[in-house]
């Protein structure tokens, strides 16, 4: 049993730096998260995840944002462009079986990509509701405008993902589809009454099974508190009460919606009751400070499923099947969208 600090931390590049080789095993974060700066070729990523496990242990959680559509860290030419959640939702509205099949295939394909590379968790699916009047930070990352669309499609996605042993993380509890500001750049407030949210935004987080992991939204839910959900004890307690006591990981604490020093951001998040702080970016010195701020090692990692990538024949078949089902709706990842999400 390895005790770890309750934080997931970003890495500098495509291999561990000498500084990371020194402080990662010394400080023992719970896990790491990969971004496009950490990704070149499949063999390089496999070598990086193996290097991480060499220094942090075989049970280390290795996360990535791999949703499809705009948010894909694994991109062409080594990995195929995948459809957005909303394009699958549009297919579902025309033909429910075909939409469910596409969502399940997307989960299998993303799971296969990650299992093949030694990555254990994807920060997806997004189960926020699409609101055409809101800021586009969610937009086509959502499966649809209603729980009736989101719940079956996200469930099908997680079922496909589970076949490979990769764990999904629901985004962004308690729902940020209504925001009028991108939380990468500032704090957003949702004033919608609880009675409305219980019948809409909260339904997916209550109804979807297949993972107990949820990522916070950096929003103020005024019905709960005047502080961001991520750093609000009242809000985190409410999430545990309303959503069956999930495993809660923060959205990235380098986003502008969260204020304060590195140490304050980490400490306020963990003191609020979040299980794992997420700190993705910054210099080596800043990331080192973030892990130190998480306090002494005290958290045991959850057991991981055995990663089970598809065979090469199955991989080719599933990708072709999804592309055929989606037709021209498969979209290339946005190269500018490489930020915490």
Neighbouring CB atoms inside 10 A of 40's CB total: 14
Question: Which long-range CB contacts under 8 A does 294-299 form with residues at least 24 apart?
Answer: 294/5, 294/6, 294/7, 294/29, 294/266, 294/270, 295/5, 295/6, 295/267, 295/270, 296/5, 297/3, 297/4, 297/5, 297/28, 298/3, 298/5, 298/6, 299/3, 299/4, 299/5, 299/6, 299/30, 299/275
Distance CA 70, CA 335 (A): 8
261's CB contacts (< 8 A; 6+ apart) are: none
- The yes-or-no answer on residue 251 being catalytic is yes
Neighbours of 335 (CB within 10 A): 11
Task: Locate the domains of the chain by residue range.
Answer: 3-329
pLDDT at 337: 47
pLDDT at 117 (0 to 100): 98
H runs (alpha helix) in 169-257: 194-199, 203-207, 233-242
Are 275 and 213 within 8 A, CB to CB?
Answer: no
User: Any catalytic annotation for residue 184?
Assistant: yes
pLDDT of residue 116: 98
Phi-psi region of 301 (alpha: psi -120 to 50; beta: other; left: phi over 0): beta
Catalytic one among 140, 251, 275, 288? 251
Task: Supply the DSSP string of 281-311, one letter for each residue.
Answer: -S-HHHHHHHHHHT-S--EEPPPPPPP-PPP
pLDDT given for residue 101 in this prediction: 97
Q: Are 143 and 88 in contact (CB under 8 A)?
A: yes
- Per residue in 239-270, pLDDT (tens digit) is 999 999 999 999 999 999 999 999 999 999 99
pLDDT for 2 equals: 83
pLDDT tens digits, 93-149: 999 999 999 999 999 999 999 999 999 999 999 999 999 999 999 999 999 999 999
pTM, to two decimals: 0.95
What per-residue confidence (pLDDT) applies to 190? 97
Q: Which fold has domain 3-329?
A: TIM Barrel (3.20.20)
List the chain pLDDT tens, one digit each, 341 residues.
789 999 999 999 999 999 999 999 999 999 999 999 999 999 999 999 999 999 999 999 999 999 999 999 999 999 999 999 999 999 999 999 999 999 999 999 999 999 999 999 999 999 999 999 999 999 999 999 999 999 999 999 999 999 999 999 999 999 999 999 999 999 999 999 999 999 999 999 999 999 999 999 999 999 999 999 999 999 999 999 999 999 999 999 999 999 999 999 999 999 999 999 999 999 999 999 999 999 999 999 999 999 999 999 999 999 999 999 998 555 555 555 466 66
Q: Catalytic residue, from 184, 242, 288, 338: name it.
A: 184
> In this structure, are residues 5 and 30 in contact, taking their beta carbons and an 8 Å threshold?
yes
């Amino acid at each position: 049993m390895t005790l770890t600090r309750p934080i997931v931390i970003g890495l500098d590049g495509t291999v561990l730096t000498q500084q990371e080789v020194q402080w990662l095993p010394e400080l023992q974060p719970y896990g790491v998260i990969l971004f496009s700066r950490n990704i070149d070729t499949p063999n390089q990523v496999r070598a990086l995840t193996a290097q991480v496990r060499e220094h942090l242990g075989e049970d280390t959680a290795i996360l990535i944002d791999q949703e499809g559509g705009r948010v894909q860290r694994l991109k062409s030419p080594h990995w195929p462009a995948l459809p957005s959640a909303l394009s699958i939702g549009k297919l579902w509205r025309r033909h429910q079986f075909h939409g469910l099949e596409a969502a399940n295939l997307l989960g299998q394909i993303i799971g296969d990509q990650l299992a093949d590379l030694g990555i254990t968790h994807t920060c997806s699916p997004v189960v926020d509701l699409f609101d055409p009047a809101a800021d586009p930070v969610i937009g086509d990352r959502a499966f649809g405008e209603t729980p009736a669309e989101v719940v079956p499609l996200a469930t099908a996605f997680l079922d496909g993902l589970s076949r490979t042993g990769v764990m999904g993380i629901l985004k962004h509890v308690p729902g940020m589809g209504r925001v009028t500001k991108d939380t990468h750049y500032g704090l957003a407030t949702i004033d919608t009454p609880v009675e409305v949210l219980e019948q809409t935004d909260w339904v997916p987080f209550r109804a979807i099974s297949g993972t107990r992991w949820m990522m916070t939204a950096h929003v103020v839910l005024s019905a709960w508190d005047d502080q961001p959900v991520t750093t609000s004890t009242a809000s985190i307690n409410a999430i545990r009460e309303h959503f069956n006591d999930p495993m809660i990981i923060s959205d990235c604490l380098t986003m502008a919606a969260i204020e304060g020093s590195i140490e304050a951001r980490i400490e306020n998040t963990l003191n609020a009751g979040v299980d794992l702080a997420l700190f993705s970016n910054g210099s080596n010195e800043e990331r080192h400070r973030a892990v130190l701020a998480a306090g002494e090692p005290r958290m045991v990692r959850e057991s991981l499923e055995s990663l089970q990538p598809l065979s090469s024949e199955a991989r080719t078949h599933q990708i072709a099947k999804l592309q055929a089902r989606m037709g021209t709706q498969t979209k290339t990842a946005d190269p500018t969208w490489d930020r915490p999400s």
